[in-house]
Amino acid sequence: MAVSTPDPRPADDSAVAAAKESPELNFFTTKLDCIVHAPSLDDLCAIYNPVSTLLETGIHHGLWWLDVTAASEEDIETLAHSFGLHPLTVEDITMREKREKIELFDSYYFLSLRPPSSIKTDDGVRIVSHNLYAVVFPEGVLSFNFGPNVHAHHVRNRIKEHRSHLALTSDWICYALIDAIVDGFAPFIARVETGVDLMEDHISVTRPDEIGLALQHIYKWRKEVIQIRQLLHDKTDVIRCFARHCDAPEATSAQVALYLSDIRDHVLTMMANLEQAEQMLSRSQSKYLSQLQFDSGRMRNEIATALSRLTVVAAIIVPMQFITGLFGMNVLVPGKNAAGLVWWYGILGVILGLIVLFLLVAKRMRLFDR
């Protein structure tokens, strides 16, 4: 029997994104010490024959977990028929329902959760998400994901590391998926906090011509904070519903409810950190806008001062132009027939005297001090 080696999955989103279009099935069972990988259901059944029995009869000796990546509609229909999934569940998986929820059915409950992931665009890093769907039976888990997702790989590694002392149940796998998804927000929040701290430190050294760029960065960070807060806020209702299920008297793994308080603490801590980052961004934006308003006011004052000085100069030049224009016309000029340059110096002296007079008046009225 050909069984693959223990799950060698990439730990970064970029590596997963490169292969996200390729269908892949990963089958875990407590009867094996490794994960079975296959590109299709037929190949999976050929590699590990008990999967055929599970699909035909729904019976498998031991806990199982079938994780399907980029499943086709034919695979979804086949698995829905084999495991008796409700049409509403099939519709949510096929249509890729974005709402996060937990729905209880007769023989299983359906989990829809949105993990965080990111892609690089021309504007920087943008947060995107593709829901993870899990159908949790008492004896196993059937999960679907259609985008970059390393959380199932992290859960399988966690099972491998703690399998010897772990009370493994299907509810525990569901809890571990939720925990891995919530922990996946930590790098995004750390990146936001680092960017906000750097922006806060650069407020005092930002030049006036860089304020516009700083405001654009603030808008980008605030948009990312809102996206993360919205994704985290939707998780609280899912965790609350899951906790009620685990606390029910008929629940097979009530001890899982003890772990959910830790997830809630993580969510509350992340929400508090995001709230603090939002307050810092709001404070930084107010400071930048105040500085921008101050610089704009100072520039307006400088322009008003320059215009007032130009007005004084114009008020002095206009009378001079009138005098020179008047004597330049075909009129009788005083002292035209007089000998010497007395009249010329007299006229020039009157012009200079008027200039001095206007300058004294402007200085007394403090027109040049504005």
**Mean pLDDT of all residues in 282-303:** 81
8 A C-beta contact, residue 171 and residue 181? no
Residue 211: both structure tokens together: 């304020």
Q: What pLDDT shows up at residue 333? A: 67
- State phi, psi for 10 to the nearest 5 degrees: -70, 145
**Mean pLDDT of all residues in 269-291:** 86
Return mean pLDDT, the chain. Answer: 80
CA atoms of 291 and 259, how far apart (whole Å): 48
Q: What pLDDT shows up at residue 6? A: 43
Question: What proportion of the chain, given as a percentage, has pLDDT over 70?
Answer: 85
Q: What pLDDT shows up at residue 126? A: 57
Confidence of residue 110 (pLDDT cuts 50, 70, 90): very high
8 A C-beta contact, residue 23 and residue 70? yes
- Three-state SS for the chain is CCCCCCCCCCCCHHHHHHCCCCCEEEEEECCCCCCEEECCHHHHHHHCCHHHHHHHHCCCCCCEEEEEECCCHHHHHHHHHHHCCCHHHHHHHHHCCCCCEEEECCCCEEEEECCCEEEEECCEEEEECCCEEEEECCCEEEEEECCCCCHHHHHHHHHHHHHHHCCCCHHHHHHHHHHHHHHCCHHHHHHHHHHHHHHHHCCCCCCHHHHHHHHHHHHHHHHHHHHHHHHHHHHHHHHHHHHHHHHCCCCCCCCHHHHHHHHHHHHHHHHHHHHHHHHHHHHHHHHHHHHHHHHHHHHHHHHHHHHHHHHHHHHHHHHHHHHHHHHHCCCCCCCCCCCCCHHHHHHHHHHHHHHHHHHHHHHHCCCCCC
What superfamily does domain 24-291 belong to in CATH? CorA soluble domain-like (3.30.460.20)
Q: What pLDDT shows up at residue 293? A: 80
CA angle (364, 366, 370) in 5-degree steps: 175
Q: Is the pLDDT higher at 199 or at 144? A: 144
**Is residue 104 scored above 50 in pLDDT?**
yes
Report the predicted TM-score, pTM, of the whole model to 2 decimal places: 0.72
**Is residue 255 scored above 80 in pLDDT?**
no
Q: Is the pLDDT higher at 132 or at 323? A: 132
Question: What proportion of the chain, given as a percentage, has pLDDT over 90?
Answer: 17
Q: What pLDDT shows up at residue 133? A: 94
Q: What are the pLDDT digits (tens) for 23-76?
A: 889 999 988 888 899 998 989 999 999 999 999 888 888 899 999 998 889 999
Which of 143, 87, 103, 140 has its CA nearest to residue 238?
103
8 A C-beta contact, residue 191 and residue 127? no
**Is residue 331 scored above 90 in pLDDT?**
no
**Domain ranges, ordered by start, for the chain:** 24-291, 309-365
**Is residue 153 scored above 70 in pLDDT?**
yes
Select the CATH number that applies to the domain covering 309-365 from these four: 1.20.1180, 1.20.58, 1.10.260, 2.40.50: 1.20.58
**Is residue 321 scored above 70 in pLDDT?**
yes
- Find which of 88-97, 238-247, 321-330 is predicted with most confidence, using mean pLDDT: 88-97
Confidence of residue 118 (pLDDT cuts 50, 70, 90): low
Q: What are the pLDDT digits (tens) for 175-198?
A: 899 999 998 888 888 888 888 888
**Mean pLDDT of all residues in 137-163:** 86
**Is residue 247 scored above 80 in pLDDT?**
no
Radius of gyration of the chain measured on its C-alpha atoms = 38
CA angle (154, 157, 161) in 5-degree steps: 140
Which residue type, as a one-letter code, is found at position 356? Answer: V
CA atoms of 155 and 181, how far apart (whole Å): 10
Q: Of 67-76, 243-252, 280-289, 307-316, which range is least confident?
A: 243-252
Which of 288, 13, 37, 2 has its CA nearest to residue 156?
37
8 A C-beta contact, residue 278 and residue 222? yes
- Find which of 218-232, 299-313, 333-347 is predicted with most confidence, using mean pLDDT: 218-232
